[in-house]
Structure 1
Amino acid sequence: MDVIDLKVVDAVARHGSMNKAAAELNTVQSNVSTRIRSLEDELGVLLFQRSAKGVQITPAGRRVLPYAAKLSKLLSDASAAARDDGKPSGVLEIGTLETTLALRLPLLIARFAKAYPEVRPLIRTGTTHSLIKDVIDCKLEGAFVAGPVNHPELQVETVFHEELVLVTSRAVHSLEALKAIAQLKTVVFRVGCSYRQRLDGLLASIGTLAPEPLEFGSIEAIIGCASAGVGVTLLPRGVVANAWKDGLVAVHEIPQAFSQVETVFIRRIDGHFSSALTIFLDSVHADSEARSLNVRRLA
């Protein structure tokens, strides 16, 4: 098995087609088929099931894929490290929670893009679970997720401290009032969101449980449902501040065990830390420290 073998496996898995993989790799289908067949003979297992509709990766093939991604990333990092002379350039591809993007990053990204026009930021949103997986699988250079995170392949640094609050319709006046709501529902992001887990814990602590939650893909939809009385949710205070100020929702403080959360930045320990990412994170830390200083002055 060599580097080219792994690249071929990755391309065929992504396209589900030998022909399309060959086009991407700038070769002919027979070369791709021969490489896959030779690799299967070498390993003694089938990596793909062939059919008239194309190819489908087998469990053995899926176990190989992460190594293809890691090796591809390692080669890319080596090339980037050789070219990186300290001047930020190229693509900066990072992930973030929807709430962090809404609350913390817009101005920082705008300032960074203006200061370093040769860098193209690509921002992907997801849940803590999905973003951790994408960083481990070398699909992202790093990501902002909810802490704590403990993984042997990841470097973790705290960047923000958030206070979570319970968000409900204005008809709900206290946490205790939730017990009187028949068929209480929660409105949350999809599975893998750490705020969702905290909300379940909070409700359990006051002696009430919610049925299967309603899942949404945007902050606006979640706040809108909470405002309309469809259900309750847990969000950072800053995210919901405008909706609360406008009288659209009620905001309830919750016990510290559930309210205090850290946003951390994660990246692979063995990855190349580009100049673009280094400078962007420096600006993130500076902004976070400035906010904390302002809070202490107002206290």
Structure 2
Amino acid sequence: MDASDLRVFEAVARCGGMSRAAADLNTVQSNVTARIRGLEDELGEPLFRRHSRGVDLTDAGARLLPYAHRIAALLGEAAAAARDDGTPRGALVLGSLETTAALHLSPVLAGYARAFPGVDLTLRTGTTAEMVAAVLARRVEGAFVCGPVAHPDLVGQPVFRERLALLTAPSVHSPEALADRRDLRIVVLRAGCSYRQRLEAILAARGAVGYRMLEFGTLEAIFGAVAAGLGVTLLPRGLIGPVWQDGRVAVHDLPAAEAAVETVFVRRADTRLSSALAAFLERARPERRAAAAE
């Protein structure tokens, strides 16, 4: 068994069939079939169940698949490490909360692109749950998420501190008034939104229960829904003014214990810090950004 065997095995598992895997690998089906049979003979275990629609993993195949992913990732990291001479270059795929991207990353991205034109930078946004899953699956090299994050396979470092605020329609004069609303709705991003649980706790502490939930796919849609009186939400206060026009919603400040939240950058503990990522994190530091703005 070698790395090329595992690459073919992973492709068959991912594509769900020998012919589809052959097309993905730019080879012929007979070659894929022979490699899989040889691997099964070597291991003494069937790796796939064949059927009319393609193949499914056996229990042995399911146990082998994570190792195929890990070896492929390790080989990719080894090649990247060999090419990394300290000058940021190559692909860099990062993840971020939409709020962090809107508040902090635009000037960082612009400055980084000018300073390191040899880096092909991609930024993907999503919820904390989505971004943590992407880091664990190695789809991104690291991600800015809402802390704290406790996972044995991840390491994290605090980067930004946010102050959250409760946003309501302008007609709502205080958070306590929400307890009397029988039609109360909370407006959040899709499942995995890092502020949803905190918002529910804040409302519960003020006697607001029995509300309905509205989910939207973007921050702009959430803000528009709140401004239109459809519900309330919890977001970083810093978005008001720089990102959204002041006055469209009522901004209710919260006690420090409820408002303070930390954004951390997480990455896998078993991967090396590339020169491209190290340079990006250096530019993202708040004190570095403040100095650049002066």
The answer to whether structure 1 residue 222 and structure 2 residue 207 are counterparts is no
Query: How many pairs does the alignment contain?
Result: 293
2:112 is the alignment partner of 1:112:
yes
Q: Is the 8 A contact 1:47 1:60 kept in 2?
A: yes
- C-alpha contact (below 8 Å) 1:166/1:232 kept by paired residues: yes
Map 1:112-261 → 2, pairs under 5 A: 112-242=112-242, 245-261=245-261
Aligned CA-pair RMSD? 2.4
The residue identity in structure 2 corresponding to 1:120 is: D
Rounded Cα–Cα distance in structure 1 between residues aligned with 2:79 and 2:253: 50
The alignment's TM-score, normalised by the length of structure 2, stands at 0.90
Structure 1 residue 241, shift from structure 2 partner: 3.2
Residue 31 of structure 1: how far off its partner (Å): 2.5
> Which structure 1 residue ranges, 4+ long, deviate > 6 Å from structure 2?
none
Task: Please give the alpha-carbon distance, in whole angstroms, between the structure 1 residues aligned to 2:117 and 2:74.
Answer: 26
What SS does the aligned partner of 2:185 have?
coil
Cα distance in structure 2, aligned partners of 1:194 and 1:175: 20
Can you list the C-alpha shifts for 1:13-41, whole angstroms capped at 9, x where unaligned?
33333222112223221232333345456
Write out per-residue CA displacement over residues 51-105 of structure 1, whole angstroms, 9 at most, x where no aligned residue: 3333345676555443332221111111111111111111111100111111110
The 8 Å contact of residues 243 and 249 in structure 1, kept in 2 or not, is answered as no
In structure 1, C-alpha distance between the alignment counterparts of 2:210 and 2:47, rounded to whole Å: 43
CA distance in 2: counterparts of 1:29 and 1:199, whole angstroms: 53
Alignment of 1:1-20 (within 5 A): 1-20=1-20
CA distance 1:68–1:112, shift in 2 (3 Å):
same
Q: Structure 1's 60 and 96: CA in aligned 2 closer, same or farther, altered over 3 A?
A: farther
| Runs of 5+ consecutive residues of structure 2 not aligned to the other structure | none
Which 10-residue stretch deviates more, 49-58 or 178-187? 49-58
Which stretch shows the higher mean deviation, 158-167 or 132-141? 132-141
- Paired residue for 1:297? none
Q: Cα gap change, 1:56/1:120 in structure 2, threshold over 3 Å: closer, same or farther?
A: same
CA-to-aligned-CA distance 1:238-293 (integer Å, 9 cap, x gap)? 123357743211111123222111000011111121111101100111546738x9
Give the partner amino acid of 1:248.
R
- Structure-1 separation of matches of 2:51 and 2:175: 57
CA distance in 2, matches of 1:267, 1:243: 28
Contact conserved, 1:96 with 1:144, CA < 8 A, in 2?
yes
Match of 2:70 in 1: 70
Q: Is 2:25 the counterpart of 1:34? A: no
State the alpha-carbon separation in 2 of the partners of residues 185 and 261 from structure 1.
23
Instruction: Give per-residue Cα distances to partners, 1:198-225, cap 9 Å, x unaligned.
Output: 1111111112225452111111000000
Deviations 1:181-201 (A, max 9, x none): 113111111111211111111
| Counterpart code for 2:102 | A
Paired amino acid for 1:169: A
Secondary structure of the residue aligned to 1:91 is strand
C-alpha separation between the residues in 2 aligned to 1:213 and 1:45? 49
Identity level (%): 53
Assess, with a 3 A threshold, how the Cα gap between structure 1 residues 64 and 152 changes in structure 2: closer, same or farther: same
